[in-house]
Structure 1
């Protein structure tokens, strides 16, 4: 399964547009992650803890997007867009929404 943010795949013309496909993932950051991120915020630098949470959420949303496209009979998803939002009390959860167009190439 090919996944791309572009609207076409060079040398692989779209044979059929199957439909829009979406996937959502919400991941909570626990109290320990918040504590260590707070310390990192005070002393400066990157927060590896939150970076891993973001990466996990992104990978999960893309995996779900791929699975849904396969169920629709597609072999690629083009025009993928990823949106990141914080939700929950005090923004304690991260939501990733992935959307794209499922196609046959």
Structure 2
């Protein structure tokens, strides 16, 4: 499956727009990650534990979106948008959305 943030795919023709697809995930960061992240915030640097959680959440949301697109009969998703939001007590929500399409190679 071709996945792109652009609305067109170079070398492909979009034959049919099948609809909006999305995937969501909510992941909680545990107390130890919060503690070590706060130390990183004080002394500077990157928080590897939070970066891993973000990557995991993004991968899960993208996978759910792709599964939904396949059920529509799509072979590509265009116009993908990723949204990150923190919600209550260290919970992290990641949403991936895009348009499922059928394409053919030019």
TM-score normalised to the size of structure 2?
Answer: 0.95
Output one character per residue of 1:36-90: Cα deviation in whole Å (capped at 9) or x when no partner: 101111111011111111111111110111011001110100000000000123x
* Structure 2 counterpart of 1:15: 15
Ranges in structure 1 where 5+ consecutive residues have no aligned partner: none
Q: Give the corresponding residue for 2:46.
A: 46
Gaps of 5+ in 2: none
In 1, Cα distance between equivalents of 2:88 and 2:64? 22
> Which residue in the other structure is 1:31 paired with?
31
Measure the CA separation in 2 of the matches of 1:88 and 1:58: 19
Residue of structure 2 equivalent to 1:97: 95
Q: CA RMSD in A?
A: 0.7
Query: What is the number of residues matched between the two proteins?
Result: 103
The alignment partner of 1:14 has SS state of strand
CA distance in 2, matches of 1:63, 1:14: 22
